[in-house]
Amino acid sequence: MFVEVAYRDQDTPCYIMKMSLLTRTTEEFSSTEYWEHFFKKRGEKAFDWYGDYNKLCGMLLKYIKPRDKILVGGCGNSELSEQLYDVSYRHLTNIDISETVVNHMNQKNAKLHQDLTFQKVDATQTPYEDGSYQVTLDKGTLDAVASQEEGVLAGRMLAECLRAESVIGFMAQLRVVAN
φ, ψ (nearest 5 deg) of residue 96: -155, 155
> Domains plus CATH for the chain?
1-179 (3.40.50.150)
How much is the pLDDT for 73? 92
- By DSSP bridging, strand 117-120 and strand 92-96 are parallel
Secondary structure (H, E, C), 7-59? ECCCCCCCEEEEEECCCCCHHHHHCHHHHHHHHHHHCCCCCCCCCCHHHHHHH
How far, in Å, CA of 151 to CA of 112, rounded?
38
- Residues composing the chain: 179
User: Across residues 35-60, what is the average pLDDT?
Assistant: 83
User: Considering the entire predicted model, what is its pTM?
Assistant: 0.77
- At 76 the three-state DSSP class reads coil
Q: What is the pLDDT of residues 88-121, one digit of tens each?
A: 999 999 999 999 999 999 999 999 998 999 999 9
pLDDT greater than 90 at residue 79: yes
